[in-house]
Structure 1
Amino acid sequence: MQWREVLHPVTMQRVALLGPRRALRPVLAAVADAGTVQLDPPPDDHADGAATQRLLRLGRPTGLVPVLSPEPPDLASCEDAGRLDLIAGEAELEARSAAALERGRVAALAGWVPTVALPGLADRLAPHGGAVVPLPRPAGVQPPTLLPTTGASTDLTALVRTYATVPYADVDPTVLAGLAYVVMFGMMFADAGHGLLLVLAAAAVRWGRWRRLERLRPGWLFLLGAGLASTGFGVAFGEAFGPTRLLPALWLRPLDEPVRLLVAGVAVGAVLLAGAYALGTVNRYREGGWRRALYAPSGIAGASSFLGLGMLAGGWYGHVGWLAVVGSVVAGAGLVAAYAGLLVAAGGGGAGAAQAVVELVDLVVRLGSNLVSFARLAAFGMTHAALAAVVWSATTALWHDGGAAVVAAALVFVAGNAVTFALEGLVAGIQALRLEYYELFSRVFDTEGVPFRPWHVPFATQEA
């Protein structure tokens, strides 16, 4: 897979599906079985076909999954055999056939197809007299979004899909969002021992033979990434099942230098926010050109405000006058551009101007609060270290007593680490997700896409 395909939803093609007007069923059946075409919605009125009427008379059971037979089935025989699934499949063909546009001897339906699926679809339709005709994209219509279905990114799509459907024009942030998530999780769950346990859990989920773990398989890459990040930060902090001194601290020990760690957490947040603004600017350009990219609060205007206020704060804190001046100019330009964009969006006039002022103040306040929010990366990292330190202190105290207390020490160590692992894993997972959604995705996404939902009614694998 090329890198462009990783950073963009699957390319879609607008198509017309053509078939003989009097022999449209096999063409539609081939389309339904392929499951690669999102057809335009049929009219609201239902088809008045034999299968549809029979299904309405029988009542559609809950959970009925329609299937097709290669040839038109005998509906009475299907009813006698209890094959309502075949009747339901035939009813879907009737509805689609009724929605087809007919001209002379040809019937046509319009829809969207992934470009990579076009050759295979054409081969399926050709034996039945059908054809696929590419069409230009209608003006103002957003194609449906399908994220890549191959490669490592497929194991990470749930992270983005839970928040929103990526607009077709936008960059697909799945891989970048996954990396950001595991970094934030690792900083809060910083323990080399606990991280290695996550790595082992990921290996068990991915390659293990336990059926109970099969439902976790789509998330194995998250477990692996989180485990590696946690191990890395644990090595940096000298944490391995707590302050056991099994590892030297390559950077710092969280409880010994809390202020330095808090500053580092905010710095990591600043880098992630800068990346979100950069991605948001690209998306605004792809959605509406340079004008939208320039004036959007999640585009150049917001990025300039963020950069300028950061330079201003750095100049003031470090007593660097020129940096503060440059920061003031950059922030001022960004806020003016953002106000102009907000004013236009509000409709202008006095009420629009007042609304734009309120939204601009909110933009500035959120810039500061969102940045400070990343201090939780350090705060929960220290919480993890503190809990592990309590467990280790209790373990060593019992161990030094000797005798039966040694067994108690082992139990305290195992149970304490189990509780810390479960509690901090849950907290770190939720907090990393919160930062991803509220601080980062709110800048990456400005609109929501339309998910690709292909029409899929497969051929029956067996007959009754």
Structure 2
Amino acid sequence: MAIVKMNKFTLLSFESNQDKILEELQGFEGVQFIDLQDPEVIKENEIFETLDKGKAGKDLSEYEDSLSKVKFSLDLLKGYVPKEGMLSSVLNDKKVISYKDLKESVEQGEWKNIYHSLKEKDDKISELNNEKSKNETDIEGFKPWQNFDAPLSMLKELKETSYFVGSCAVQYEQSIAKDLEELNVPYFVEHINKTSKDIYFMILCSKEHEELVSDAIKKYGFNSLHLSYDESPSKIIESCKERIAEINAEEDAIKAEMAKFADKVEVLQLAYEYFTSLVERQNVKENFVKTDKVTAIIGWNEVDNNKKLEERIKNIVGDEYYLTFEEVKEEERENNKVPIKLKNGGFAGPFESIVAMYGLPQYKEVDPTPILSVFYFLFFGMMLSDAGYGLMMALVCGFVMMKTKDREKKNTYKLFFFCGLSTILWGAIYGGWFGDLLSKYLGLNIPILINPTTDIMTMFIMSLAFGIIHIFVGLGIKAYLYAREKQYAAIVFDVVSIYFIIIGAVMLLAGMMAGMTSLEPVGKILLIAGIVILVLTAGRESKSIVGKAIGGLNGVYGLTSYLGDIISYSRLMGLGLATGFIANALNLIINLFPVPFRWIIGPVLFIALHGFNLAINALGSYVHTARLQYLEFFNKFYEGGGNKFNPFKLSSKFVKVTDNNDSVSR
């Protein structure tokens, strides 16, 4: 299994057939278009500059408007649709519908009726909210005037008397009183209310003195009360509160009516998929160039699908097309321009997600997934290391894996199913079944191949040995890539030299620490030979003798990174011990409860505590196993950074939309 082989296709067709072809290709879901209007592409193909640029179709605005209405309706109903439970989200797959059925369903127009009904209700709620806000503002505005017990209409009925009802900052109270006295005209003042900031009052005077009084208070920032009501302030507040209660009741009634549309969400979701696909189909035209009558489309597709692609085009436009396929050029390969799709089946397939998190390989590289899958499988179980936990993972993931048909979900569950199997394997080797539950508390004689409490050094050496093997495999892949490029000398300089150094160092250590003195001479020879090769060749890229010498010394200094890489694998032991020891401690805590409380509380605590330990250490195992792949393994041969193959396809956010012609495309 490897990187899927790609090639570039060029399709010329009459512009009148463009929409039909795009609809067919969208259902085919097997091509990724190249933007022929990109300046870099034009620079490489100057002929494109002389052609007209493709533009989105005239129907785009209509589709976008419809999509906007559908989104509005879905967003509005979001609060009325019961949230899917965690178990349901795990087990339930998306509904599957063919594009033909989708199109027929949406074109019946039911979504429009739903939208108009919801829009009308939403507008009414907005109107009520505005009125509610006005009433709340009025309540706040008239609260300071509650002591004014006369109807405001009485002020409006005054004929010979002018009135000033309003407020000023409290610090101007004495100044206003003084200025009014100095006017030497008859007036009447009533203080209605006073706060820490403002003073509220009413002034009455004859109409002939209105201007004098107005000028006297205006300079102090007099804020006049707007008399839009006739009742007294207390009655106004009461009326506003009553109206707010009525508005709330109206809103509740409207929301209850809107909630009845919750069962229409699927209709809107289908409309969303349909119009999203149409919008994408129109927008993608901006990747093309054209003449008056002919459109040029260039893109990538899988080599194995060449025949299927041509069949699809021929079925839709007959012989009115021109289609050619072109192999990947060396320049495109080297410049990382080829989109990447991985194809791994069976055991390795679920582990593609681990590779993708780091970065897909470039087209010139190899797919590391098959080899990574083996080491990830081994290392995860070695870190989690409890067979009971592994059994729980395998059972749960195996169950949901069989229930779901969604490929992405199935691969995720399958990944953790395999991790569960690995954990069972290593847990059985270490004798861990929910810690020491079976052996210590249930009295069962559990076979143990490696005892974590007494064989720590064995686990440590085994972890480092796995690390060396892992690193050697990475270097081996590097050697393969050199051989593929016919750089045979580089294999000796960059790979064999490291093999010699590591093997020689291991043999020397084994001779000194384990008394295997016969290994020491061979180890010395390999170690010295490797260092000599490294010193002489690590700086070979430099043109000067000094540069070569410095490069050689840097190469030797770089050996310390290999020591760090190998020591990093001690986490295989560390996390394995942590899981087991924590599980043992949890069993001890539960056992501290006296009988009969132990039998009542114990099962609940057992599930909660061991569930927490499983979750935390499974997460740690997932992260640290990935870390060993990314930092200790990939850096030996892998560059990554490949661009994912993103085919032109139908929208499937809420439901899975399938092609009308699966027999041809799949």
Measure the CA separation in 2 of the matches of 1:282 and 1:62. Answer: 53
Q: 2:283: which partner in 1?
A: 92
3-state DSSP of counterpart to 1:254: coil
Report the CA distance between 1:254 and its aligned residue.
0.4
Measure the CA separation in 1 of the matches of 2:311 and 2:407. Answer: 36
Given the superposition, is the C-alpha separation of residues 452 and 333 from structure 1 closer, same or farther in structure 2, using an over 3 Å criterion?
farther
Measure the CA separation in 2 of the matches of 1:385 and 1:362. Answer: 38
Measure the CA separation in 2 of the matches of 1:158 and 1:252. Answer: 32
3-state DSSP of counterpart to 1:383: helix
Equivalent of 1:326, from 494, 516, 522? 522
Q: Is the 8 A contact 2:500 2:530 kept in 1?
A: yes
Report the CA distance between 1:197 and its aligned residue.
0.7
Q: Is the 8 A contact 2:382 2:426 kept in 1?
A: yes
Given the superposition, is the C-alpha separation of residues 338 and 22 from structure 1 closer, same or farther in structure 2, using an over 3 Å criterion?
farther
Q: TM-score, normalised by structure 1?
A: 0.78
3-state DSSP of counterpart to 2:288: helix
Given the superposition, is the C-alpha separation of residues 93 and 166 from structure 1 closer, same or farther in structure 2, using an over 3 Å criterion?
closer
Q: TM-score, normalised by structure 2?
A: 0.56
Structure 2 unmatched ranges of 5 or more: 40-51, 72-98, 104-270, 659-666
- AA partner of residue 385 (structure 1): G
Max Rg structure: 2
Report the CA distance between 1:93 and its aligned residue.
5.1
Given the superposition, is the C-alpha separation of residues 240 and 292 from structure 1 closer, same or farther in structure 2, using an over 3 Å criterion?
same
Report the CA distance between 1:87 and its aligned residue.
7.1
Report the CA distance between 1:114 and its aligned residue.
0.7
Q: 2:463: which partner in 1?
A: 265
* Residue 193 in structure 1 maps to residue 397 in structure 2: no
- AA partner of residue 29 (structure 2): G
Report the CA distance between 1:10 and its aligned residue.
1.1
Measure the CA separation in 2 of the matches of 1:125 and 1:296. Answer: 52
Q: Is the 8 A contact 1:51 1:87 kept in 2?
A: no
Q: 2:244: which partner in 1?
A: none
Equivalent of 1:115, from 272, 296, 303? 303
Q: Is the 8 A contact 2:360 2:642 kept in 1?
A: yes
Given the superposition, is the C-alpha separation of residues 308 and 164 from structure 1 closer, same or farther in structure 2, using an over 3 Å criterion?
farther
Correspondence 1:59-458 to 2 at 5 A: 88-89=279-280, 91-92=282-283, 94-98=285-289, 108-127=296-315, 128=317, 129-142=320-333, 143-148=338-343, 151-208=346-403, 217-243=410-436, 244-245=438-439, 246-286=444-484, 288-291=485-488, 293-294=490-491, 297=494, 299-320=495-516, 323-338=519-534, 342-345=538-541, 347-349=542-544, 352-353=547-548, 356-357=551-552, 359-398=554-593, 401-456=594-649
Structure 1, 131-140 or 355-364: larger mean CA deviation: 355-364
Measure the CA separation in 2 of the matches of 1:93 and 1:189. Answer: 48
- AA partner of residue 571 (structure 2): R
Report the CA distance between 1:63 and its aligned residue.
13
Q: Is the 8 A contact 1:122 1:131 kept in 2?
A: no
Measure the CA separation in 2 of the matches of 1:161 and 1:221. Answer: 16
Q: Is the 8 A contact 1:156 1:221 kept in 2?
A: no
Report the CA distance between 1:31 and its aligned residue.
3.8
Q: Is the 8 A contact 2:398 2:414 kept in 1?
A: no
Report the CA distance between 1:377 and its aligned residue.
1.0
Report the CA distance between 1:365 and its aligned residue.
0.7
3-state DSSP of counterpart to 1:43: coil
**Higher RCO (CA 8 Å, separation ≥ 6 residues):** 2
Please report the RMSD computed on the Cα atoms of aligned residues, expressed in angstroms. 4.2
3-state DSSP of counterpart to 1:343: coil
Q: Is the 8 A contact 1:169 1:283 kept in 2?
A: no
Structure 1 unmatched ranges of 5 or more: 1-5, 71-80
- AA partner of residue 287 (structure 2): R
Measure the CA separation in 2 of the matches of 1:62 and 1:164. Answer: 34
Measure the CA separation in 2 of the matches of 1:160 and 1:259. Answer: 32
Q: 1:73: which partner in 2?
A: none
3-state DSSP of counterpart to 2:342: coil
User: How many residue pairs end up in the alignment?
Assistant: 436
Measure the CA separation in 2 of the matches of 1:117 and 1:215. Answer: 22
Q: Is the 8 A contact 1:284 1:296 kept in 2?
A: no
Given the superposition, is the C-alpha separation of residues 23 and 186 from structure 1 closer, same or farther in structure 2, using an over 3 Å criterion?
closer
Structure 1, 315-324 or 124-133: larger mean CA deviation: 315-324
Structure with the bigger percentage of strand: 2
Equivalent of 1:37, from 7, 31, 34? 31
- AA partner of residue 32 (structure 2): Q
